[in-house]
Amino acid sequence: MAERLITVFGGSGFVGRHLVNQLADEGWRVRVAVRDPEGAKFLKPLGDLGQITPVPASLLNPESIKRACAGADVVINLVGILHESGKASFQAIHADGAALVAEAAKAAGVKTFVQMSALGASSSSPSRYARSKAEGEQRVRAAFPSATIVRPSVIFGPEDGFYNRFGAMARLLPVLVYFCKDAPGLKTSPNGGTAVDFYGAGGPKFQPVYVGDVAKAIVKALKDPAMAGKTYELGGPRTYSLREVMEQVSRETRRNRLVLPAPMWLAKIQAMFLQFLPNPPLTPDQVALLQSDNILTGACPGLKDLGIEPESVEAVIPSYIDRFRPLHRQIRRLGKKHA
């Protein structure tokens, strides 16, 4: 396998760095197709000398895609964006770009193709992000019918943009807010009376999946011909409401923040202004995504069907979210280690 070549588009990103590490351990020669090859050089020490090679490529540049696919046995497309910026729109990256990669891979004689989509991809979604992911899946299938498609839920791990973002919020803010559609409001009590419901159902639900498990599923697709042409939904062992996620963060950061609900209309107002920031924490399209739960539907096989026992959030996040804890506790813990 040492002589086989695999091209990974987006290999320097969050999922990419974990995947490249596993591929190097498996003996693959890895061509990492990224917009900034210099910035991807941190991946080279993950393999032997010359085993991992960053090359320039952009999903907005068809010729660069063709060059990156040339001579490869396998192509994996991980590229995705959470918000639009200039020419990098959801349509250009998730739909047109994915189609260009699949078409170039097919033309280059690539044997195996893996496309990373997202849980909740749907042509009927109110979110442009989710609709573009669904179109990308359709166009990949049309260009490369035997492609394997993976749809992960929210992905967590040391470099994630989910728990780390909320951890930073817990360090800075006295209150953690979750958005929901049913609180505060009135509810009917068992005896027929009415009472104020301050918390509701806890907001949208998620089924976070560990980044290492996503990488394992993709690597397995390279070994198991039975995965060709199929779509897999990847989620962790349990679901959490957004309120439960915030409470987890409050506990693990030792900040003991108050966790309170806010109506979805307030999220829409905030997003209208925040979307103009260089790296917006919330956009109107993300608010549209929050209208639906992000959990496994059961319509597609998942990690357990691949023989992968998913890691739990509780087992992993303490290893990296502790950096948001109060400094004096960090110092005290370090002192105990060296005592």
> pTM of the full predicted structure?
0.91
* Mean pLDDT in residue range 263-288: 94
What pLDDT does residue 197 have? 72
Band (186; pLDDT cuts 50, 70, 90): low
Q: Beta strand 175-180 with 258-263: parallel, antiparallel or unpaired?
A: parallel
- By mean pLDDT, which of 96-110, 161-175, 180-194 is the weakest? 180-194
Residues pairing with 33 in the sheet: 9, 55
Helices 163-172, 242-252: crossing angle, 10 deg rounding: 60
Closest CA to 30 of 52, 3, 54, 56: 52
Residues in the chain: 339
- DSSP single-letter state for residue 173: -
- Torsion region of 291: left, alpha or beta (phi above 0 gives left; psi -120 to 50 gives alpha): alpha
Band (1; pLDDT cuts 50, 70, 90): very low
Rounded to the nearest angstrom, the gap between the alpha carbon of residue 185 and the centroid of all alpha carbons in its chain is 32
Before 184, cis peptide (omega within 30)?
Answer: yes
Residue 29 has pLDDT above 50, yes or no: yes
Do 59 and 97 meet the contact criterion of CB atoms below 8 Å apart?
Answer: yes
Residues pairing with 244 in the sheet: none
Digit-coded pLDDT (tens) for 38-82: 999 999 999 999 999 999 999 999 999 999 999 999 999 999 999
Band (193; pLDDT cuts 50, 70, 90): low
What pLDDT does residue 181 have? 87
What pLDDT does residue 189 have? 62
What pLDDT does residue 195 have? 67
Angle among Cα 307, 311, 312 to the nearest 5 degrees reads: 140
Do 62 and 33 meet the contact criterion of CB atoms below 8 Å apart?
Answer: no
Tokens 């070994």 sit on residue: 223
Residue 153 has pLDDT above 60, yes or no: yes
* Mean pLDDT in residue range 126-136: 97
Digit-coded pLDDT (tens) for 207-245: 999 999 999 999 999 999 999 999 999 999 999 999 999
